[in-house]
Structure 1
Amino acid sequence: MRIELHMGEWMINMGLVGLYRVFEYGRQNGIISDEYKDSVTVKPWGIELDTDVLPQLPKAYFLYLLEEYSVARRECEKLDSYIEQVKKEDQFKNAVSIIKKSISDTGKKILKYFPYPLLEDILEKVKDVKKAEHTNQLLEYINEFKKIMNEQKVNEKLTFNYFKAAILQSFFGQVSFLNVAKNNLDLDGHIEEFYKSYVVPVLNDLRFEQTIKTIYSSEEMNTFLETYNDYQPFKQLKREWKKKTVEEIREYVRTKINKCLLFNERFAFYNFEEMVFSPIGVAKDNAFNFSWHFDSQQPKPLSSLAKLVLLFAPIGSTVYFKNEGINEQTERRLYAGFVQTDATFAEVLQKNNHFSQLKKKREPFNKIVSQLVQSVKKESEYAVDHLFFLEFFSDYSSKKTHLHYYHLPIYLAHYFKQYADRLDYIKPYDYREQFVQYVLRGADPIHVIYHYLRDCVKNERSTIGPYIAVRERNRILQFKKGVRDVATTDKRVSALFMQGREIRDAIMRSSGSEKKVTSIAYRLLNAAKAGNRKNFMDTLLRIYMAADRPISPIFLNALHERDLDFSTVANAFIAGLLANQYKEEQEEVQA
């Protein structure tokens, strides 16, 4: 049977991309038979699926995950990267320490499941490696360890443990093969559990849909339900329909059986709840505001087909680590990202494949956005596509989800196409990521700039980055107003920065005190952050009077905001006040 899977909400689109990736992987690697090579076809609206291929998808699903998240490959690559450092005398001590910890941590996990006397011996001997002359012995231990890691049973077990705990449980509850009781399943066991829990319900429900359309008597329906009596939803129907006529059965189907929330034409015997899709699902018993037709046991009806597609969502997304917060409050979390667009499914697939490739190369967000909008030739095309990003961090155990939507309106698309590379000067990397993500959320990145400047003041760090952040924020504001030629306002921002530099030089010549510059920068920054123009201008007048210099008319912008907003004026000047590296900054100030 061929069925249509239409795009819709982002989680379904994510699932469709994942399903297609698994099918292509299975087809290319001989996991899916050649007779089913045309079973999944891309259509403008989504995917056309031949259900005959469904029994072959579980094996392709797990083999895809085993290759994508191979613990053996990851650990061996990590060890290889430190082997080169071991050979360098100045890096030997640090590299050996990391290698020992890696071998010890992973080795203990292996020994938990497999008895390896050789591995136990390696773990003991590697502790004695402390000097450079032991390098050859260390390399031998590493090679033996890598052989054990690459044994199929070892890699499978560790990789299953990893992607089930770190990846899949960010998306789902402890259902089917994800239940802790199923931790001892091998590859075949996982495939069987997947088939029983996800494929069989889809096949049963599709047969049910066909049977409802074709039966002529209630006996036919009873025979069908009896045939599939092991399927829980049918047990209830069998009791309900025991004495009903065909007309009454069809009326019951029309009025009592819900349709799916995500695939509207499909019957729904399940619920959209946290165990099915943890990031935005709600436990059935707690879904007080979602009772469907006032039935507390049916919060948000879901079909078995949608449940299956959602299972592919982790593969359709791009998974990466991301630092949340700034400076000391940073927390490293595993995020799943997706590019959503109103274009055809082929375009959604292409953009997400590109997004995944860029993330694997660890490209910063500004580069990713820039490259993904390069294909936009006309504003009319962009308006139709309506590109935006979403990413989420989800922790099933603590019932916590951080979900971010990053919209990309036309003015931002133009900005990224023209100026995305300028953001490369915002360093460290975390400030650039925060800046871009604020912008994509439609928020003012001024708070990132305040943190950035305060970091520079506190740590006496001189960098061009804050000035670039101030200038690019102003460019974005100009683009938002419809201004495409920003040369005039760029010159004003540059002039304010140079005023700050000149005042810094005057202070250093008269006092030679870096602490005095720091003290003034703190006062100006506090006034700027509070939006207190009076305090800012009072401090500014005192600085210029102490330096015996006339105050520039450009600061009138701080009072009247005719050409530049107060934050831009204040922060451009403060950035100049903190800058003392001339050559490379001078080149970029003019860019």
Structure 2
Amino acid sequence: MSASIEIFAEDWMITAGMIGLTRLFDRTDISMTPLEEDVPNIMTSYSIHLTEKHIELFSARYIEWWIKESSVVRRDVGRMEWSKKKANGAYNKIITSQASDPNQLIDAQLLKDQNKVIKECAKAIRKIMNDQYKKVEKYFPNTDECNQLAQVIEQLNQVEDYQDAEQIEVSVLEYERIMATTFIEEKLTLNYVKAVILGIFFGQASILQPSFNAKSKEEHIQQLNKDFADPALRDLQLYERLHQEQEDGSTVESTIPALLQKYSDTHKPYKDWLRAVKKLNSRQDILQYFDQHISKCSIIEGVPATQSYEELTFSPLALSKKKAVNFYWEFDKKNPIPISAIARLLLFCVPIGMVDYNRRLGNEHTEVNKRFFGIVMDNINFKGLVKLNNIYRLQRKRTNSWSESIIGLLGEMKHKAENIKSKNSYLFVEFHSEYQMKKTLLDYYHMPAYIATYLADSGYKLKDISDNRIRDLYLRKILQGHDPKRHIYELLRQMIRANFYEKELLSKSAHIAINARYHLSLAKKGELQLSVHDSQINEIYEEGVKLRRRFVFSRPFESNATNTEQSDYRASGRKKLEGIVYRLLNAVNAGDKQSFLDTTFRIYLSANTTGARRNANGTSSPPLGIPRIFVDIFQEEKLDFETIANTFIAALLGSEKRKIDKTKDTSEHMRDDELEQNFAHTEGEVEN
């Protein structure tokens, strides 16, 4: 009878390894080699059922999964796609301009600019090809594929103008065909996976040694068998023997010494145990020896430990044996944290069970991309966890934004009729690790039921926050249980520096973020009607819009002292308003309600002067009244100070959507006050 063991999901690390094993033996994955009928299903509702058959197939399926999942050919062609589309766009612009009047020559400047774009796109694609060509030349220098790839790069080097644009498409297709050759794709993909993904988890253990970069797929499989599959198989058989002999209670001679003898020449722990077991007289003494004198695995219950949890086992969280002095189990320096070979095999599957993605760290001025790995946890059975993480993985593939993938995950669960409201919470775990620097950044994001419910019902609105970085930070702050007002403040600061067209997007983004913050504050208190005060928030926003229009229309553009020395500089209404908004933002940031109201009243006084009320057609607009809602700033019975103030500021900094006269210069280099001058008349019409 085949040996087997049942492993239950516990912490995120073990759960990720178990999910990884289920993906290796997923019968529905058509990209993998089909499993034979005699291979049992590995997943149950609450655990995985690991058998000898699974371990025997482990190494081959592990290598195959990574080759299919992380193909460098698919990755490179995807990277080339943007440049290819850009070159096609440039080509179409030239052809379209020529098609409008075949007898007319193509505009010289247009031709020059678009030819430059096409040439730069060809250069970008050629660089990607060159990087891979160097590797092909290193490992397969005398092959036909290497020579063909060199020819493709040379043909791409000859692209000079739009007449050669079709060569870009041809070269990419030819590159894809050549690089898809089995021995090339396998070699480069394995080296990429080891360097970019597996090295983060396991340093330079086993196949991750630099010397393995030149070895074949079969040699990688053999090494995995030696380092992972064979030791796990030994430990599984020993566990099965111990379990059976403890269960049957027979006095028949134990079969454990024979098993230890079988593996004693190749496995030192078994040799040490065999020496001790030979001195024992009965089957019961042997079982008692393993129960009382042999350390058990710290990860999988009941399995004798044969090695230690250290850096080569799981680099992000483990310590070397020398530095694990505070973890010595029974003062054993050789195995400070005892684990079994089965546990090590499980940990080796953690990268497969997690989702990898790039995350931007830093601020708007200095940012760096880091590779993170994530997993979602929930208080449901293991089968449900696998399903949940498969959806999360799919969402991550669809979008580069972490926040969008989280919102998409919850929306998908709701779409599949999962009762999110009955769930206690979600836990999102993500980490970044740098093996060489011995550094790991680990983040836990706890999602209470009220946040899960809100994001499932209304989270799609957050996707309209235009700044991806702020949107991600905003959601992370919510999941950490903190007030996201800091990121609303950052959005409002961006609006001051933004150009005319960006202001409208950022104004909408800030309005969405402010509403979401207020709704979540109500949900946290147990309120069910989250939109009860939305009309008041919208009222504040509309009042701010009216005030902005009055300012912009009264001073549509700047004037300078260019005609006479007596003339004074006169700022546009937009610039004057932005200067005042800085004071409002500082008051909100400091929580100074009195200063905010004082500045707001002064704005209204300025907007109600005779000059400010005069329209372009000579008529006067009615005075603007100060909204009564500002009284709530001190009472805070309905809306809190930050919600009122930030909504008002977002409206003051916004801009109007207008149809632009194509005869006028509305390029991105055009000054905001010039655009406002163009729109001044329509602004006056809107107010009237």
Deviation at 1:484, TM superposition (A): 1.8
Q: Does the aligned pair in 2 maintain the 1:318–1:336 contact within 8 Å? A: yes
- C-alpha distance 380-555 of structure 1, shift in aligned 2 (>3 A): closer
* CA deviation string 1:424-452 (max 9, x = no partner): 22112222222222222222211221111
Deviation at 1:28, TM superposition (A): 5.1
Cross-structure match for 1:372? 413
Cross-structure match for 2:122? 96
Higher mean displacement: 360-369 or 332-341: 360-369
Unaligned runs of 5+ in 2: 92-113, 557-571, 609-623, 660-688
Aligned partner of 1:18 among 3, 17, 20: 20
In 1: Cα distance, 2:347 partner to 2:378 partner: 18
In 1: Cα distance, 2:408 partner to 2:241 partner: 53
Higher mean displacement: 153-162 or 222-231: 222-231
Higher mean displacement: 113-122 or 224-233: 113-122
- C-alpha distance 263-123 of structure 1, shift in aligned 2 (>3 A): same
Instruction: Show the 5 A alignment for 1:496-507.
Output: 496-507=540-551
Cross-structure match for 2:462? 423
Q: Does the aligned pair in 1 maintain the 2:374–2:428 contact within 8 Å? A: yes
Instruction: Show the 5 A alignment for 1:293-372.
Output: 293-362=330-399, 364-365=404-405, 366-372=407-413
Residue identity opposite 2:442 in structure 1 = L
SS at match of 2:26: helix
Normalised to the residue count of structure 2, the TM-score between the two structures is 0.78
- C-alpha distance 52-119 of structure 1, shift in aligned 2 (>3 A): closer
Deviation at 1:97, TM superposition (A): 2.8
Aligned partner of 1:444 among 480, 483, 491: 483
- C-alpha distance 292-565 of structure 1, shift in aligned 2 (>3 A): farther
* CA deviation string 1:5-28 (max 9, x = no partner): 211111111111111111126985
SS at match of 1:388: strand
Cross-structure match for 2:651? 576
Aligned partner of 1:169 among 184, 190, 199: 199
In 2: Cα distance, 1:270 partner to 1:242 partner: 22
In 1: Cα distance, 2:632 partner to 2:131 partner: 59
Q: Does the aligned pair in 2 maintain the 1:71–1:158 contact within 8 Å? A: yes
Unaligned runs of 5+ in 1: 585-591
Aligned partner of 1:541 among 601, 605, 628: 601
Cross-structure match for 1:403? 442
SS at match of 1:415: helix
Identity across matched positions, percent: 30
Deviation at 1:545, TM superposition (A): 2.6
SS at match of 2:326: coil
Deviation at 1:191, TM superposition (A): 0.7
Q: Does the aligned pair in 1 maintain the 2:306–2:339 contact within 8 Å? A: yes
Instruction: Show the 5 A alignment for 1:118-517.
Output: 118-212=148-242, 214=245, 222-229=257-264, 230-241=266-277, 243-246=279-282, 249-362=286-399, 364-365=404-405, 366-375=407-416, 378=419, 381-383=422-424, 386-460=425-499, 461-462=502-503, 463=505, 464-512=508-556, 513=572, 514-517=574-577
Deviation at 1:468, TM superposition (A): 0.9
Deviation at 1:62, TM superposition (A): 0.8
Cross-structure match for 2:585? 525
In 2: Cα distance, 1:106 partner to 1:521 partner: 52
Cross-structure match for 1:588? none
Cross-structure match for 1:589? none
Higher mean displacement: 427-436 or 292-301: 292-301
* CA deviation string 1:95-154 (max 9, x = no partner): 223212222222222222221334334434433322222234444544443332111111
* CA deviation string 1:552-575 (max 9, x = no partner): 232233333222222212211111
Higher mean displacement: 462-471 or 270-279: 270-279
Deviation at 1:71, TM superposition (A): 0.6
In 1: Cα distance, 2:460 partner to 2:254 partner: 70
In 2: Cα distance, 1:504 partner to 1:181 partner: 67
Q: Does the aligned pair in 1 maintain the 2:31–2:68 contact within 8 Å? A: no
Q: Does the aligned pair in 2 maintain the 1:339–1:387 contact within 8 Å? A: yes
Cross-structure match for 1:555? 630
Higher mean displacement: 551-560 or 413-422: 551-560
Task: State which structure, 1 or 2, has the greater radius of gyration over its C-alpha atoms.
Answer: 2
Deviation at 1:32, TM superposition (A): 5.9
- C-alpha distance 29-583 of structure 1, shift in aligned 2 (>3 A): closer
Q: Does the aligned pair in 2 maintain the 1:376–1:382 contact within 8 Å? A: no
SS at match of 2:442: strand
In 2: Cα distance, 1:350 partner to 1:192 partner: 32
In 2: Cα distance, 1:510 partner to 1:282 partner: 68
Cross-structure match for 2:4? 2
SS at match of 2:330: coil
Q: Does the aligned pair in 1 maintain the 2:238–2:256 contact within 8 Å? A: no
Q: Does the aligned pair in 1 maintain the 2:202–2:311 contact within 8 Å? A: yes
- C-alpha distance 373-175 of structure 1, shift in aligned 2 (>3 A): farther
Higher mean displacement: 223-232 or 293-302: 293-302
SS at match of 1:416: helix
- C-alpha distance 111-526 of structure 1, shift in aligned 2 (>3 A): farther
Cross-structure match for 2:135? 109
* CA deviation string 1:215-254 (max 9, x = no partner): 9799965544332121122233345555444465444322
Q: Does the aligned pair in 2 maintain the 1:25–1:64 contact within 8 Å? A: no
Higher mean displacement: 220-229 or 252-261: 220-229
Deviation at 1:471, TM superposition (A): 0.8
Deviation at 1:504, TM superposition (A): 1.7
Higher mean displacement: 338-347 or 530-539: 530-539
Q: May I ask how many residue pairs the two structures share in their alignment?
A: 581
Deviation at 1:286, TM superposition (A): 1.8
Q: Does the aligned pair in 2 maintain the 1:2–1:51 contact within 8 Å? A: yes
- C-alpha distance 277-316 of structure 1, shift in aligned 2 (>3 A): same
* CA deviation string 1:507-532 (max 9, x = no partner): 22333422212212222112212223
Normalised to the residue count of structure 1, the TM-score between the two structures is 0.91
Q: Does the aligned pair in 2 maintain the 1:83–1:95 contact within 8 Å? A: yes
In 2: Cα distance, 1:121 partner to 1:505 partner: 62
Deviation at 1:373, TM superposition (A): 4.4
Higher mean displacement: 117-126 or 393-402: 117-126
In 1: Cα distance, 2:255 partner to 2:22 partner: 36
The CA RMSD measured in Å over matched residues stands at: 2.7
- C-alpha distance 142-378 of structure 1, shift in aligned 2 (>3 A): closer
SS at match of 2:298: coil
Q: Does the aligned pair in 1 maintain the 2:633–2:640 contact within 8 Å? A: yes
Instruction: Show the 5 A alignment for 1:17-96.
Output: 17-24=19-26, 31=33, 34-37=36-39, 39-79=40-80, 82-87=83-88, 88-89=90-91, 90=114, 91-96=117-122
SS at match of 1:390: strand
- C-alpha distance 35-485 of structure 1, shift in aligned 2 (>3 A): closer
In 2: Cα distance, 1:561 partner to 1:150 partner: 65
In 2: Cα distance, 1:413 partner to 1:20 partner: 27
SS at match of 1:391: strand
Q: Does the aligned pair in 1 maintain the 2:21–2:353 contact within 8 Å? A: yes
Higher mean displacement: 565-574 or 250-259: 250-259
Q: Does the aligned pair in 2 maintain the 1:407–1:441 contact within 8 Å? A: yes
In 1: Cα distance, 2:467 partner to 2:32 partner: 45
- C-alpha distance 516-119 of structure 1, shift in aligned 2 (>3 A): same
Deviation at 1:200, TM superposition (A): 1.1
Q: Does the aligned pair in 1 maintain the 2:298–2:337 contact within 8 Å? A: yes
Higher mean displacement: 9-18 or 404-413: 404-413
